[in-house]
Amino acid sequence: MAEQILIVEDDAPIADFVRRGLLLEDYAVDVAYDGQAGLAKAKEDSPALVILDIMLPGMDGLEVCRQLRRHSDVPVIMLTAKDDVPDRVAGLEAGADDYLVKPFAFDELLARIRALLRRHRPSTSDELHFAGLRLNPVTREVYRVDRPIDLTAKEYDLLELFMRHPRQVLTRDTIYEQVWGYDFQGESNIIEVYIRYLRTKLEADGEPRLIQTVRGVGYTLRES
């Protein structure tokens, strides 16, 4: 069965160009031309991936992404003409997984789609364990000893990266590439924000810190 991709784009020629290209790659494709319609389709149809413009009539793409993230971890690629660093940061912080600036090469968009779909397909890997943490890649459930931990999609992806590389120092560039799938340019505190979110949830009952800062380098998962 073909994987379904939802395009939310108010520029009809661009939407049609992407739709035709994806149909030729054997994806099932649906299109919405405003934010409200796109959010409704995403909720009703549960697509495998959403391509989302930011500047949409009615509800903009950032708000669509925020509302979508309240109930779904569907991969989202922001496709937009807004290319300043603050705009890209806003898209990622709203919950987008990737960000591609117009004009774009269809082959690059296709490569990013394939990478995100691979990352979000169910894994058959065994549970991951580290110092009382348990992470199930199939169910995406996380426990600290017996306490369940409710994570957003991006928080989960970040923790899974650490648990697949315990005690290894991960640089900021590595984290950007592996979790956001994207060579991020410019200054951003998005990693620090998500590290703080994770620490708050992992240490909610006063447990010892496991995600350690390695100053000037990055972060590592290890006991204090």
Q: pLDDT tens digits for 24-39? A: 988 889 999 999 999 9
- Residue 108 clears pLDDT 70, i.e. is over it: yes
Name the residue type at position 35: G
Q: Which of 76-90, 138-152, 176-190 tops mean pLDDT? A: 138-152
Phi, psi of 128 (to 5 degrees): -100, 140
Pick the last residue of a domain from 101, 120, 139.
Answer: 120
Q: Are residues 154 and 94 in the same domain?
A: no
- Residue 86 clears pLDDT 90, i.e. is over it: no
- Kindly state the percentage of the chain with pLDDT values over 70: 94
Q: Are residues 116 and 159 in the same domain?
A: no
Q: Are residues 115 and 133 in the same domain?
A: no
Q: Are residues 84 and 155 in the same domain?
A: no
Q: Are residues 112 and 147 in the same domain?
A: no
Q: What is the structure's pLDDT at 26? A: 85
- Residue 82 clears pLDDT 80, i.e. is over it: no
Q: Are residues 74 and 172 in the same domain?
A: no
Q: Are residues 25 and 113 in the same domain?
A: yes
Phi, psi of 116 (to 5 degrees): -65, -40
pTM metric for this prediction:
0.58
Q: How many domains does the chain have?
A: 2
Average pLDDT on 2-17 reads 92
Cα(29)–Cα(38) distance, integer angstroms: 13
Q: Are residues 94 and 182 in the same domain?
A: no
The CATH number for 16's domain is 3.40.50.2300
Q: Are residues 116 and 148 in the same domain?
A: no
- Residue 118 clears pLDDT 70, i.e. is over it: yes
pLDDT digits (tens, 9 = 90+) for 124-137: 557 899 999 999 98
Q: Residue 148: which domain range?
A: 128-221
Q: What is the structure's pLDDT at 221? A: 96
The CATH number for 159's domain is 1.10.10.10
Pick the last residue of a domain from 94, 120, 146.
Answer: 120
Q: What is the structure's pLDDT at 191? A: 92
CA dihedral 41, 45, 46, 48 (to 10 degrees): -90
Cα(52)–Cα(161) distance, integer angstroms: 26
Pick the last residue of a domain from 99, 120, 141.
Answer: 120
Least Cα distance to 30 among 50, 10, 11, 13 occurs for: 50
**Element (DSSP H or E) covering residue 76:** strand 76-80
Sign of the torsion angle spanned by Cα atoms 193, 57, 67, 4: negative
- Residue 190 clears pLDDT 60, i.e. is over it: yes
Q: Which two tokens stand for residue 74?
A: 């569907």
Q: Are residues 19 and 105 in the same domain?
A: yes
Q: Are residues 99 and 168 in the same domain?
A: no
- Residue 123 clears pLDDT 70, i.e. is over it: no
